Amino acid sequence: MSRSMLQTTAVIMLLVVAVTGCATIEEYPKASIGALGGAAFGGLIAAAAGGGGAAIAGALIGGALLGGFAGNALDQRDKRLAAEAQPRALETAPSGKPVAWTNPDSGHTGTVTPVRTYQSGGTYCREFRSNVTIDGKPDKAYGTACRQPDGSWKVQG
d(CA 20, CA 100): 26
The distance of closest approach from Cβ of residue 122 to another protein in the complex, given in angstroms and rounded to an integer, is 4
CB of 26 or CB of 150, closer to another protein: 150
The distance of closest approach from Cβ of residue 127 to another protein in the complex, given in angstroms and rounded to an integer, is 11
Edge-first strand order for the sheet with 153-155 is: 99-102, 109-120, 123-134, 137-147, 153-155
CB of 72 or CB of 124, closer to another protein: 124
CB of 107 or CB of 151, closer to another protein: 151
The distance of closest approach from Cβ of residue 116 to another protein in the complex, given in angstroms and rounded to an integer, is 6
CB of 74 or CB of 89, closer to another protein: 89
For residue 96, the Cα-to-chain-centroid distance in whole angstroms is 18
The distance of closest approach from Cβ of residue 71 to another protein in the complex, given in angstroms and rounded to an integer, is 32
Instruction: Supply the DSSP string of 26-93, one letter for each residue.
Output: TT-HHHHHHHHHHHHHHHHHHHHTT--HHHHHHHHHHHHHHTTSGGG---HHHHHHHHHHHHHHHHHP
Point out which residues bind another protein (CB under 8 A).
94-96, 116-119, 122-124, 147, 151
